[in-house]
Structure 1
Amino acid sequence: MDIGQKIRNLRIQKNLTQEELGERTDLSKGYISQLEHNQSSPSMETFFDILAVLGQTPSDFFQEEKPIQLVYPVDEQTEYHDETKGYTIRWLVPESNENEMEPVAISLDPHGTFKTFEPSPAETFIYVTAGIIGLTLGEKVYRAKAGETIYFHASENHQIQNLAKGVSRCILVATASYL
């Protein structure tokens, strides 16, 4: 662990200059610079003072950061098929329902429909990759064919369905807990 770099990163996250951190801990700007470049080691008391200003406990500071996952292989994705309604949904990012956005891939069999949703504060984006997707929003029906997009606020009851004779597919990304 690069202690100096971690102190520097925390200082920057708190929008503090070396001088400001020094003033709040009764240390010089030069000494803060030496710490951040691992040219000096602080006493325990000084280290705890720095952590207090940076809003960190020693256990938080030394806890190893979990690597951030940015790529989600197919084998980590979950799929569900509903034969009755004629759709398959694939959650593209595991546990995405805990995030601000939830991306899914939906495949609709001929005459297939996805479940009906009640109004919510969600925003929804749909990119049609194959066929024709219909969106019933309130009393109106909107159509989008392959290559086209649909973007709407989920302010009314809504449902997507397949309007093509063959299979239709789309990528749907919704905010909040849409799905």
Structure 2
Amino acid sequence: MEIGPRLKDLRLKNDLTLEELASRCELSKGFLSQVERDLTSPSVSTLSDILEALGVSFSTFFKEERPTQVIFGTDDFFVDEREDYTINWIVPNSQKNTMDPIIIEIKPKSESMEIEPFDGEEFGYVLEGEIHLSINETLHLIKANQTFYLRGNQSHTLVNKSNCIAKVLWVVNPPIF
């Protein structure tokens, strides 16, 4: 790990000059410059002083950042087969994100799990077949290539009354699946 460049990035993010940081740490400007260029290594106590002046803990500073995955394929999906439907989690660990997308395949003459009221929103796109969105015992027909959008403040289910599998891209915010 290159400590110097990371320290320099933190200093610049804090809008500090070398001179200002040196003054806060009671170090020379020349020494800090050498540290930032990895020409010298600070002692643990000196590094502690620098990090304190930058408002960063040791654990935060040394935490390795992993690259964020942005593209997912079928190898990344998690599939949960139930009696009446199959859920494909198409973004792994999406519960930590603000949206939770799934593809749900509802078998003929079946329905999805009931979604209890929650504080959020939902969007769905019917990829194949047709479904009925059941809200308060009212059925709303949604065909392939049509969408639905609703607030999560009412219980609802997706009902497949047809003889074919219905496939829906379903996205909720915040994650509840």
- With structure 1 as the length reference, what TM-score do the two structures score? 0.77
> What residue identity is the alignment partner of 1:135?
L
- Cα RMSD (Å): 2.9
- The alpha carbon displacement at 1:64 in A equals 3.1
Instruction: Specify which of 73, 90, 93 is matched with residue 92 of structure 1.
Output: 90
Secondary structure at the counterpart of residue 110 of structure 2: coil
Matching residue of 2:74: 74
Matching residue of 1:103: 101
The correspondence of residues 28-177 of structure 1 with structure 2, limited to 5 A, is 35-36=35-36, 38=37, 40-41=39-40, 43-44=42-43, 45-83=45-83, 86-177=84-175
Give me the whole-angstrom Cα distance separating, in 2, the residues matched to 1:21 and 1:138: 62
Secondary structure at the counterpart of residue 105 of structure 2: strand
- The alpha carbon displacement at 1:50 in A equals 1.8
CA contact (8 A) 1:117 1:157 kept: yes
Give me the whole-angstrom Cα distance separating, in 2, the residues matched to 1:29 and 1:126: 58
* Structure 1 residues 98-136: Cα deviation after superposition (integer angstroms, max 9, x where no partner): 332211111112222101122111211112111222212
C-alpha spacing 1:144/1:25, structure 2 compared with 1 (3 Å)? farther
The answer for unaligned runs of 5 or more in structure 1 is: none
53-62 or 94-103: which moved more? 53-62
C-alpha spacing 1:103/1:28, structure 2 compared with 1 (3 Å)? farther
Aligned positions, number: 174
Secondary structure at the counterpart of residue 7 of structure 2: helix
Secondary structure at the counterpart of residue 56 of structure 2: coil
